[in-house]
Each structure stands twice: as C-alpha cells, then as structure tokens.
Amino acid sequence: MNTSCNDKLKMTNDKLINKKRLVRRFINYVKVPSLSKSEKIFAKFIRHELSSLKIRSYQDEIGNIFADIKGDDNKAPRLLLNAHLDTVGPGEKIKPKIRYGIIISDGKTILGADNKAGIAVIIEVLKTIKEEKISHGDIQVVFTVQEEIGLLGAKAIKKNWLNADVGYVLDGGDVDALYNKAPTQYNMTAEVIGRAAHAGVHPEKGINAIKVASVAIAKMKLGRIDRETTANIGIIKGGSATNIVPDKVEIKGEARSHNIRKLKAQLKHMRRCLSQVCYKHKAQVKVNMDNVYNSFSLDKDEKVVKIAQRALLNIGIKPKIKLTGGGSDANIFNAMGIKTLIIGVGADRVHTKNERIAVDELYAGAKFLLEIIKEAHARKNLKK
C-alpha cells in the first residue's frame, strides 16, 4: 500500500476517526522513551491514557498492561488487541517531525512506529468507540513489554489470563497486508576456545579463536536460504589485546523457518561448520541452540482472517495475505490457542534511523481496526 491509499478509502468511518488527534497522539507517544526493559515510564503514561477513557487497567509482574472493555453484546466474539510497548535503540530523545505527509525522526534515532503506531491506533479506536457509542463485543487489550528481545513479555502471560476468541496483533507494515504465517526461531550461542600466546614472541604456540570462528562463519550458508528460511550471525566478540593471540570468542546468531525440517537442517549445518573447523584447527567449541518461539499458520478460511479481509474491503482496500519472516506476540498467542492474525498500521523501515510512517497509512490503520471491531460484532456466529 502506498501513501495515496487514503484516496481510495470509502466513506465508511471517515467521520469517526479523528485524524489530527491520532497523529498528535502518536507523536506524543514516540517522544516517551521505552527501550526494552525500560518501559516503566511509558507504561505509566499509557495507563493514564486508558484511565482518561475510564478504562481500568492493571499490570503483571513483568510490566505487561491488561485492560478489559465490556461489550454491549455477549453474543459477539471476544477480541484480543495487542501491541508492544518497547522499542529498539537508539530510542531516546526522539524528535519526530512531519515532512510531506510522512512522520520521521531527525535521523539520529529510530522513530518508534514499531510499535507505538499500534498502541496509538488501539487507544484512538477505543476513544472513538466510546465517543460514537459504537456497539461491540468484549475487547481485551494487552500491551506487552520486552517484545523486541525475545517476546519475553508475552511469554510471561498465563493462558488463563486471556479471555478472547480471536486476536489481532498490530505489529505489521502495510495496512493491506494480513500476515497469517510466521516462522519458528532458534538462537545459537557458540564459544570457540583456542589457546592464548604472545602475538609477537611466539604466535605459533597460540590458537587464534577469532580466526577459527571466522573460518567457520565463512563456511556457513547465511542470509536468505530459501523462501521459508533465513539465518544470520549477528554478534562476534572476543580477544583482550592486540599482542595476545585470543583464546576465546563468542558468536551469537539465529535461524528461522516456516518449515521445521528445513530449520533443523540449517541449525545442524551451522553446528557442523563450527565443529569441523574447530577440529581441524585443534580448537574446542561449545554450542547452545535455544528455541525463541514456534511458528504459526492460519488457514485463509479461518474466521479471524475472513473478518480482517472483509474489514479491509469495507474501507476500499484490497487485502493481501502474506507470510512474515519475523516473530511477534502473535506466535505466543497462537501457541496458547487463540487464533491471532498480524495486521499492519503502516510502519516502514523499522529498526533503523530511517524508520517512518505515512500519516495516511496510520489513519488507514485506525479505520481498519475500527472496521474489524464492527465487522466482528456483525459476525455473531464466530463462536460456533
């Protein structure tokens, strides 16, 4: 979807969402820093926002925010709406500005549209529902912490804390994209152990752990393996001085795939590269593979998908059903048995200083969510 999408939107909801207020809300949110594990101040701010709407909220031990909004029809499906509070860095002293209809930072930080666009949309839609007295079923809002560092907030949630039939995670990109599939991810941590020696006097007595690790990494298949699988080495650190042959180096990487067989093969390949090279150079290696989250796949005929499709069509946008290579809280909610779809609110170039969001995309995202709530209410047979 491009920034001209708003021209194609039907009149549905046009007079309901307050566009200027939504943009102002989003800009206010990104100015409050909320790096992973440092979401406390922003969480307090958001709880105040909910309180101003006369919506009671509470937090669990890790800091997730929960709010239950009672509907006026107990036959309507119960909806879970989610976005995460935390951002990646650099995410302090963000200075947002609007240029030619695009909201950006000053280039020294991220913008924080991932995922404060989702939070702004949810709260603006809740305000609109109250103002316009729009009928709806029960809604449970969950704002999670520490999503960016392994979905830790969502993982801390107990299944019996959630009270929803279907869920929507507002953590996608283009508003026309419905993400019904996400991969399984494993993280790899490896320690290559060589032998220290004086680099100038007798380097031949040492085993350079950095060199050994580098050779192993060079042999690995990394990046886009195929349509379903990716792999990456993201961190390598070791050594203590230039005149010492380094005896230890730590490597951190990951592999993801929608196909568990392919994922296991990729992980085995990465481990084998390390083992074979270390054996050849008489170094040692310790490797740990840890599951971060499991994949999910929603059939296109699932009601949670159909509601979103119809909602987009209602506002004049043609839906595109896609798979994503990223993980989100949707992975955790689906594992708990709540059919949860990832939807977009327009965030673009996320996790970079070039992050941006078009005002019209943000606005379309709010119209979309409001229409989901209305469409879900209309489809009262969802529970059957």
Q: What residues are annotated to the active site?
A: 86, 147
> Kind of pairing, strands 79-84 and 139-144?
parallel
Helices 19-30, 40-52: axis angle to 10 degrees equals: 150
For residue 82, give both structure tokens: 């989610």
Q: Which of 304, 384, 378 is nearest to 338 (CA)?
A: 304
Omega of the bond prior to 246 within 30 degrees of 0, cis?
no
Let me know if 264 is exposed, middle or buried by CB neighbors in 10 A (0-12, 13-18, 19+).
middle
Distances (CA, A) of 237 to 22, 27, 191, 200, 248: 43, 37, 10, 22, 9
Q: Which of 296, 377, 305 is nearest to 334 (CA)?
A: 296
Q: Is residue 313 within 8 Å of 175, Cβ to Cβ?
A: no
Q: Is residue 182 within 8 Å of 331, Cβ to Cβ?
A: yes
